[in-house]
Amino acid sequence: MMSKFKTMLLAGTFALAPLAATAQEAPVAEVVADDAQADVNSEDFAIDTKAKMQKDMDAAIALVEKMFDTSSLPPIEPARLTLAQQTMGALIPAGSLEKMIDNLYGKMFKTIMAELGGQSDLMLSIKTGVESDKIATLDEATKNKIADMFDPHRQEREDQITRVIKPLISEALTDLERPMRDGMAKAYARKFSAAQLTDLNSFLATSTGRLYASEWMALQADPEVMVAVMKALPPMVTKFMDRGPQIEKEMKELPKEKQLSDFSDKELASLAKLMKVDVKVLKEQRDMSKTDVMEATDAADAAADASYDGSAADAAADAADAAADAAAAATDYASEDPAYDRSNWSAADLKRVEDLEAASAAAATAYLEAEAEAANKARKRLDKAPSE
């Protein structure tokens, strides 16, 4: 079960998600993964977690700075920047980000809390062991009664979480507003001339302009806008799916990207010269790559053979181990080679790989069942054996 504190953090993260420029999932995942092995209340754990998160955030910031390099931009004329700062003061007044989040907060935050709380179909299924499909047939009143049996103070607890997390979000948004104003002021100063900025400021000083300035950001998260955007997504996905065969055909026409294992000795020598490294280092890497490819192929064959001979526990064990090695090798290649992206595969190739994956899983299951059966038989023999 996820702790209430982590529920709060997750809900807060969801609420802030529309404003995030880059996703930072790794630190949260590490905290959750380490929870079972560390004292989450210890000072050392908190310091270590903060250090890991800071390291990841620094890396993300460095990546964004590299992607959006501003070092070569010319300086901004001070008078023009002053006009743009006036524009941003009107468009992003204090509290405007929180107003935008409030549009999401009431719906999204409460929905997340309900899903992570005790009365959702998923959580009731986890707590009781009853399939969620069956729980889904119950009415809300019944679900609430069941949840209350596990936690009579559930509603009070959820209200308390809301009282704690919302001020935290408000504080975070307040911290975000100033740098957003500064950044947008610079962007506006580069995009619009002094005359255009003056026109904008004149409009924003009118009653209509003031109303627009106070509402434009909040309207980005208006329920009607959110629903309209979500409804527009399925046709977009359908377009990509419909054009899949055409994309696949065009991808096939492109030459396959070479891997280090494809390089000849002569090509390795040229590569070593360009990289200013010893050619022996590249040869070792190439040979290791070739070995991984061969092991992956052998593992697939072993898994397929084992799926037809479930009685051979040893073969199943070998197939399971080989499949694990193959999966690791495939993961390494997939991170470097877009050809390993399954969306680029033909239907026949995808089916063949998925069939072999199923065979591998069957082999692993057969191995575990055989091992358990052998252990049970041995236990019975040991129980019957006279004690010395």
Q: Is residue 149 part of a domain?
A: yes
Same-domain check for residues 290 and 143: no
The chain-wide mean pLDDT, for the chain, equals 75
For residues 161-165, average pLDDT: 74
Q: Is residue 330 part of a domain?
A: yes
| pLDDT surpassing 70 at residue 142 | yes
Same-domain check for residues 133 and 17: yes
Same-domain check for residues 219 and 351: no
| pLDDT surpassing 60 at residue 137 | yes
Distance in angstroms (rounded) separating the CA atoms of residues 144 and 123: 12
Same-domain check for residues 25 and 137: yes
* Cα dihedral 272/278/280/281 (nearest 10): -80
Give the count of domains, the chain.
2
Res 201: pLDDT: 96
Same-domain check for residues 208 and 349: no
Same-domain check for residues 105 and 202: yes
Q: Is residue 253 part of a domain?
A: no
| pLDDT surpassing 60 at residue 326 | no
- Per the structure, the complete domain to which residue 77 belongs is given by 4-229
Same-domain check for residues 91 and 24: yes
Same-domain check for residues 105 and 154: yes
Q: Is residue 147 part of a domain?
A: yes
Q: Is residue 236 part of a domain?
A: no
Same-domain check for residues 271 and 212: no
User: Residue ranges of the alpha helices (H) in the chain?
Assistant: 4-16, 26-34, 43-67, 78-91, 96-104, 110-116, 121-128, 132-135, 140-150, 154-191, 194-204, 207-215, 223-242, 244-253, 265-275, 279-307, 313-334, 347-384
Q: Out of 28-42, 68-82, 372-386, give the one with best mean pLDDT.
A: 68-82
Res 348: pLDDT: 79
Same-domain check for residues 58 and 202: yes
Q: Which of 8-12, 27-31, 148-152 has the lowest mean pLDDT?
A: 27-31
Q: Which of 82-91, 97-106, 111-120, 233-242 has the lowest mean pLDDT?
A: 111-120
Q: Is residue 239 part of a domain?
A: no
Band (19; pLDDT cuts 50, 70, 90) = very low
Distance in angstroms (rounded) separating the CA atoms of residues 15 and 109: 6
Same-domain check for residues 57 and 198: yes
Angle between helix 154-191 and 140-150 (nearest 10): 110
Q: Is residue 240 part of a domain?
A: no
User: How many C-beta atoms lie closer than 10 Å to residue 95's C-beta?
Assistant: 14
User: How many C-beta atoms lie closer than 10 Å to residue 161's C-beta?
Assistant: 20
CA separation, residue 205 to residues 90, 160, 210, 299, 362 (Å): 8, 41, 6, 71, 70
Three-class DSSP labels, 141-202: HHHHHHHHHHCCCHHHHHHHHHHHHHHHHHHHHHHHHHHHHHHHHHHHHHHCCHHHHHHHHH
Same-domain check for residues 71 and 184: yes
Q: What percentage of the chain reaches a pLDDT higher than 90? A: 14
